[in-house]
Structure 1
Amino acid sequence: MESVRARGGAAERNLRLLPKAHLHLHFTGSMRPSTMLELADKYGVHLPEALSGGEPPRLRATDERGWFRFQRLYDIARSCLRSPEDIQRLVREAAEEDVRDGSGWLEIQVDPTSYAPRLGGLIPALEIILDAVDSASRETGLGMRVLVAANRMKHPLDARTLARLAVRYADRGVVGFGLSNDERRGLARDFDRAFQIAREGGLLAAPHGGELSGPSSVRDCLDDLHAGRVGHGVRAAEDPRLLRKLAERGVTCEVCPASNVALGVYEKPSDVPLRTLFDAGVPIALGADDPLLFGSRLAAQYELAREHHGFTDPELAELARQSIRGSRAPADVRARLLGGVEEWLENSPAGGTSQR
């Protein structure tokens, strides 16, 4: 693989060779489209044109109807995962894709209750997922851990059950606790006890916020759930005081540019306030969110920052550093990846191409 490419007469470093951490990737959404098609055929699952047409579906989730359509497509894709072997395949392929994109650490997010009915229950489902993560990590060399995520659309008591389960498996690879689904439904403070259980058990609090709702959603994640990271968080750009708060606390925002555009949060890639967050000193970890539905994986998010926001190679390297620092990777893994970022920068594109 070439380490640099030509653009406008000048060579550029290859962003797939930039070491980075991937902190915002959903479980079903990480599936390869080809794998979904194979599994759908195997199990006789009828896929709508939006999933079987070979192109990412057109979505607009900024209204209730659009979000319902997004969730329906996601649920159909999830129904293709029915056995431990399917789970193992999905995780292994997600790891392979991440390695190809330069990721040295992946924290994949999953709500095991979604898979429990077909995998023998909640505890067996989580154990199957954790075993798959452990196997994929050994096979690919990618450091991998799990964030267990509760669903805002369900009762807060369900979230407490998941938080206790997540803490129970902290020594098996669970590093964080999240809160996903439509942030316009369910107040953050309704889930405060679940997040307290998770934090007291040593897990990172990483709820979604500031995507479909405005800055107040991010503020609630900080004030009510004591978030150490925020999934998305881009709408914080609308509130300078909130930006300062995020920067001062060092709270990483898991920004997913392609997802933001695909879901209609912003009209075009250049509208995503990456530069606003970056210049305000807010730590950023670029993520792919749901590549199955949005059509692009991790390296493409860095390409978007370069192409649409004018991020220079030193700035892209800093984005990679921020993703690594915001991760739950062990100290030695962080040090190795950060060293790799410096090597990437030191390899000047002016010297031509080199082989990996």
Structure 2
Amino acid sequence: MKNLPKIELHHHIEGAAPPSFIRDLAKRKSVDISKVFDESGGYAFTDFWHFLQVYEAATSVLQTPQDYHDLTLAVLQAGAEHGVIYTESFISPDFCGGGDVDAWRDYLAAIEAAANTATRDFGAQMRCIVTPVRHFGPDKARASALCAAETVGEFVVGLGMGGDEKAGKPADFAYAFDMAREAGLHLTAHAGEWGGPASVRAVIDDLRVERVGHGVRAIEDPALVDDLAERGIVLEVCPGSNVALGVYQTWADHPISKLMERGVKVTVSTDDPPFFHTTMTAEYENLARHQDWGGSEFATVNAVAVDAAFCDAETKDALRQKLEGAYD
């Protein structure tokens, strides 16, 4: 499993930071974030909302473009060790310059430089999905969307939205998504993790997204499942994250296979891998073990991921060549 080529579309750059990286950076900056870690040195949290607090505390030590350069390189190297050949990572201007366009350009340049190094050294490509944080509110989302619109190109390919699904309504963020759409960016948004199937319907109707982050609780609404399948809307599914946070109690309970059987297009990603003690290898091993997946299912989710990726056609063709025959 480890060496098989894999495509990952749902990935938070800060959430992928190895705990040792954050701990060392905090030490160098004399920032006390000891409560972020458990006794074994991993990230410590009790539920999703505590996880958001720990995430933001850990992110607080990432203060300069150089910090994000080093983080990006470390994260892409870690992914490449598990066969990840292409990643679309959520990156928020709120954490990278506070939503100021000029500051965002500096952070983005550092991140892209690291991504180029990773492509050269590890064969791991990356694209950026600019990501407003939902519980920071619509005004900050507009600032993030402006950052995205001003830097759209080969590297900045989309706008997403993460954070607390219970904060406000998707319609509150329609202006930001309309701005991004007009700038030529692709669109995705988190839903159907904590907000239930109604939240999936809301991001589709109010934000007109092409993909949905998580989206798994759509399974609770058969009409919605049929609609997702008919419209070809792709779900960025993160099974290990869902199980770790208690959305589903076990891997066997997870509905990813049922969604596939109903014709919904799904992909597999790690979300925030060190927080949830997972890797892309672990995701695949658990799907094989608990959902009886074989080469056909893994080939399908990777083919869906390439088709749904926000990158250019030339990059997609190169990825298809790397995947060809890998799961026979």
TM-score using structure 1 length: 0.85
Q: Which residue of 1 is the match for residue 86 of structure 2?
A: 105
Q: Distance in 2 between matches of 1:166 and 1:132?
A: 19
Q: Which residue of 1 aligns with 2:231?
A: 249
**1:204-243 CA deviation, whole Å, 9 max, x = no partner?**
1111000011000000111000110111101111111111
CA displacement 1:27-80 (0-9 Å, x = unmatched): 11111122122112212232335525334535322xxxxx1x212211121122
* Counterpart residue number, 1:307: 289
Distance in structure 2 (CA, Å) of the matches to 1:113 and 1:58: 22
- 8 Å Cα contact 1:59/1:264 also seen in 2: no
1:191 deviates by 0.7
TM-aligned CA deviation for residue 249 of structure 1: 1.4
Is residue 2:210 matched to residue 1:223?
no
Aligned to 2:248, the other structure's residue is in SS state coil
Question: C-alpha offsets along residues 125-162 of structure 1, whole Å, 9 cap, x if unaligned?
Answer: 33433343334333333221100011111231221222
Q: 2-side partners of 1:345 and 1:70: how far apart?
A: 35
Aligned length: 326
For 1:272, the aligned partner's letter is H
CA distance in 1 between partners of 2:132 and 2:111 (Å): 16
- Once the two structures are superposed, the pairs formed by residues 56-205 of structure 1 within 5 Å of their partners are 56-61=43-48, 67=49, 69-116=50-97, 121-171=103-153, 173-205=155-187
5+ residue gaps in structure 2?
none
Q: 1:117: Cα distance to partner?
A: 5.5
1:54 maps to 41
What CA RMSD, in Å, does the superposition of the two structures yield over aligned residues? 2.1
Give runs of ≥4 in structure 1 deviating > 4 Å.
Answer: 117-120
Residues 145-154 or 30-39, more deviating: 30-39
- Please identify, of 332-341 and 275-284, the stretch whose mean Cα deviation from structure 2 is larger: 332-341
Query: For the residues of structure 2 that align with 1:341 and 1:122, how far apart are their CA atoms?
Result: 34
CA shift digits 1:63-114 (9 cap, x unpaired): xxxx1x2122111211222233321111011111222222221111011212
Q: Which structure carries more helix by proportion?
A: 1
Distance in 1 (CA, whole Å) between partners of 2:63 and 2:293 is 42
Q: Which moved more, 1:210-219 or 1:275-284?
A: 275-284
User: Relative to 1, partners in 2 of residues 1:287 and 1:41: Cα closer, same or farther, differing over 3 Å?
Assistant: same
User: What is the CA–CA distance in structure 1 between the aligned matches of 2:154 and 2:304, rounded to whole Å?
Assistant: 25
Say yes or no: does 1:20 pair with 2:1.
no
- Residue in 2 aligned with 1:44? 30
Does 2:272 match 1:290?
A: yes
Q: Percent identity?
A: 35
The alignment's TM-score, normalised by the length of structure 2, stands at: 0.92
Q: Please, which moves more after superposition, 282-291 or 112-121?
A: 112-121
What residue identity is the alignment partner of 2:237? V
Q: Greater CA radius of gyration, 1 or 2?
A: 1
